[in-house]
Amino acid sequence: MSAAWQPIRAPLPFAPAAGLAAPADLRMALVIPDFDAPEAPPSSAPDPALAEAAARDTAALEASLAAAREAGLAEGAAQARAEAADSLAAREAVALERIAAALNAAATEARDAAPEAAETLAGLLLAALDAALPEAAARLAPEAAARLAADLQPLLEEGIAVTLRVAPGCATAAAARIGDARLTVTEDPALPPGDAAAAWRGGGAALSLAARRQAVAGLLRAFDLLEG
C-alpha cells in the first residue's frame, strides 16, 4: 500500500451537535505510510560545492603524502651520507695513524743507523783519500809548489831571499811553473812527492800531504763522523 490518501471503507457514524445539520456525506481519511515500500534512491545530481571541497581535500592529502615521501627520502639520503662520511673519516684516521707509526719507526731506525752509517762512510772517504792523494799530489807537485810560491811574493817584493824545497825530481818542473828567478828552488830527499817547504831568515812555510789529510780527518771528527 502506498502512502496516498486512502478512504476508510467503513465510515464512522457522525452525530451533529445540537442545532447543526449533518453533511450529506462525511468521510474521514488518514494517511498510512507503506512500511514495506523500498527507500527512495538518493538524488543522482551531486552538490557541486561538496564535490569541489572533496576534490580539494583529496589534492591536499596527496600533496601532504608527496611532501612526506620527499622529506623521508631526503632524510634517509642525508643519514646515509652522514654514515658514509663517518665511515670514511674513521678509515682515514686509522690509515693516518698507521702511516704516522710507520714514519716514527723509520725515523727511529734511521736515527739509530745514521751514526754507524755516517762513521762507515767517513772511514771510506778517508781511505779513498789516502789511496788517491799521494798519486794526485805527485802528479800536481809543480802546481802545489807554484801555489806556495804565490804566497811568498810579498817577501820577494821586499827583497828577502827565499828558498823553496820540493821533492826529488820536481825542481825543474816547479821552477818552470813558478817562473820567478828571485826564488831559489831546490830538491829535498826528505820530502815526499807533493810536499814543498819554504825557508827565509826568521821564517818558513810548508805544504804537506800529511797535513792535508789531517785537516780532512779533523773536519770529519768535528761532525762526529770519525773516531780517534
Q: Give 214's DSSP letter.
A: H
Quick one: which of 226, 218, 213, 221 has its CA closest to 129?
213
Residue with cell 569541489: 52
Residue 159: the pLDDT is 93
**What pLDDT shows up at residue 28?**
52
Name the residue type at position 47.
Answer: D
The pLDDT of residue 3 is 47
pLDDT digits (tens, 9 = 90+) for 181-218: 999 999 999 998 888 999 999 999 998 888 877 877 77
pLDDT-flagged residues of the chain (< 70): 1-46, 106-107, 110-118, 122, 124, 126, 128-132, 225-228
Cell 678509515, residue located: 91
Q: What was the pLDDT predicted at 53?
A: 78
* Cα 64 from chain centre: 46
Amino acid 33: pLDDT = 61
How far is it, in rounded angstroms, from Cα 116 to Cα 166?
40
